[in-house]
Amino acid sequence: MILSFRWYGESDPVTLDKIRQVPVLKGIVSALYDVPLGETWPLEKIQNLKAAVERKGFILSAIESIPVHENIKLGRPDRDALIDKYRASIRNMGKAGIPVLCYNFMPVFDWTRSNMAFPLPDGSNALSYDDVEVLKMDLSKGTKDLPGWSASYDAKELQALLDGYQELSEEGLWENLKYFLEKTVPAAEESNVKMAIHPDDPPWSIFGLPRIIRDEAAYDRFVKLVDSPNNGFSLCSGSLGARPDNDLPAMIRKFGAMGRIHFAHVRNVRITGKGAFHETAHPTESGSLNMYEIMKAYSDTGFSGPMRPDHGRMIWGETGKPGYGLYDRALGAMYLAGLWEALREEKK
Ligand SMILES: [Mn+2]
């Protein structure tokens, strides 16, 4: 297992110099943030990113993410041209020797929350989600007023997307995902890149949009879409764990044994009601998930890919990108490293 940390590039206030003072971290997970959506990632830029990470003593263990253009998800006429560019990005990743590509297939909204600074009893704050609050959000002005939403669609663009997905439905989205994978997985195979889809977050439909990568049944279906070891998962415990019916240790054992888990996001979450949860510190006692059993499942299945603490709380007065401060993620990394060391020692 390569314990890793997400870094948002040179403009991230959480610098590589800070990250390298967390003693257990070996890998960095990052992306190019200046390539327009839909364009091919240039080899030279990927190599420069890799060199910047390696200069500080890390390996670039995964790319998270190369975004998938909405027109690919919607199956619009220009999708073939867009997929060709995506394939070229995968080949360039392969040439640069980067082994894992995290991506997602969530329509319009990536991860979604109702409160970016939900107060916890200890005085820290974390991201939270509640279906009731999300239903009250006003989409009539586009995305600009939504919490944590950076890309912007104006009212007309957003409505066109919502209508497009309404018409497409869940089955249509599955078909378009299969189409995308049939074209990209062969490029990943040739390039020695493992494609790793991130689950939807939250793992259920929001705003009437189809969201399909949400539970074990979806994972079963996904691995069969294109039956290749290069077609696998970024298994995110915090995303999938917002559904009490997802048995995470069982899913890790099942898909880990199949060699389909290529990247692990490990964090805890507390379920507070139906369609409601908030993020927490990483330890088991902080939330609803048994982190020991999750880590034991990874250890027992011989997981060797990158793993990272996921979103952290904001603690000690830190401000910055919600979920991506330094302090609580560093605590999370230490906790995961401790569990891992104990599990490895027990095996000896
Ligand atoms: Mn995640």
Mark whether 80 is an active-site residue: no
> For residue 146, what are the contacts with CB-CB under 8 A and spacing of at least 6?
112, 137, 139
Mark whether 201 is an active-site residue: no
CB atoms within 10 A of CB 311: 27
Tell me, rounded to whole angstroms, the distance of Cα 337 from its chain centroid.
20
Catalytic residue among 102, 165, 201, 265: 265
Domains of the chain, by residue range, sit at 2-347
Catalytic residue among 103, 153, 298, 324: 324
Can you state the angle between helices 248-257 and 291-300, rounded to 10 degrees?
Answer: 10
Contact 29, 6 (CB under 8 A): yes
- Is the model's pLDDT at 109 over the cut of 90? no
Beta strands in 81-124 (DSSP E): 100-103, 115-119
Pick the closest to residue 300 from 234, 252, 236, 248 (CA basis): 252
**What is the residue type of 65?**
S
110/105 Cα distance (integer angstroms): 9
Mark whether 245 is an active-site residue: no
pLDDT of residue 138: 82
Write down the CATH superfamily of domain 2-347: Divalent-metal-dependent TIM barrel enzymes (3.20.20.150)
User: What is the end-to-end Cα distance of the chain in Å, rounded?
Assistant: 16
pLDDT of residue 151: 58
**In this structure, what token pair is assigned to residue 216?**
């074990």
Q: Which of 45-49, 131-135, 234-238, 315-319 has the lowest mean pLDDT?
A: 131-135
Q: What's this model's pTM, rounded to 2 decimal places?
A: 0.95
pLDDT of residue 61: 98
Mark whether 165 is an active-site residue: no
Mark whether 265 is an active-site residue: yes
pLDDT of residue 149: 65
313/315 Cα distance (integer angstroms): 6
Percentage of residues in the chain with pLDDT exceeding 70? 98
Place of tokens 């389909």: 260
Pick the closest to residue 305 from 52, 25, 16, 62 (CA basis): 62
Give residue 239 CA to ligand 1 midpoint distance, Å.
Answer: 6
pLDDT of residue 148: 64
Give residue 198 CA to ligand 1 midpoint distance, Å.
Answer: 7
- In the predicted model, what is the mean pLDDT of the chain? 95
At 157, the pLDDT band (50, 70, 90 cuts) reads: confident
Mark whether 33 is an active-site residue: no
